[in-house]
Amino acid sequence: MTRLAVFTALYVLPTLGALGCLLYESWHHPRWRSLALLSALDCHATPGCAPGPSYHSAGVEVSLLRVFLSLVVGISSGMWVWSGKTCRSWSSLFTAPRKTNRPVPMTRV
């Protein structure tokens, strides 16, 4: 039960974090789009301007956090599935069965 609780925590917490990042991105996406447009227009109006993020937005950081949390979910699931017991089961499946030396029964004459 303890192992199941740990797996549940390692699965649910990053999934909730990724869901929160996704909701944050969808909520602020129109604002980030308008800030990017304003930045492009300001740079277009100024001669010799190098285009870049002159307005602060947290879009990239939140997206990277969402991707990281999705990867953490996959890693924890992989650790759960590929335990020592699972590896032993697969190795016994792919190895040839061993012959045992059984004693030969003696016959009476």
The 10s digit of each residue's pLDDT in 57-71 is: 667 888 899 999 999
User: Using an 8 Å Cβ cutoff, are 87 and 35 in contact?
Assistant: no
Rounded Cα gap, residues 67 and 24, in angstroms? 14
pTM, full prediction? 0.59
Q: Which two tokens stand for residue 47?
A: 């001669």
List pLDDT tens digits, range 2-57.
878 888 888 899 999 999 999 998 888 787 777 777 776 766 666 666 655 555 56
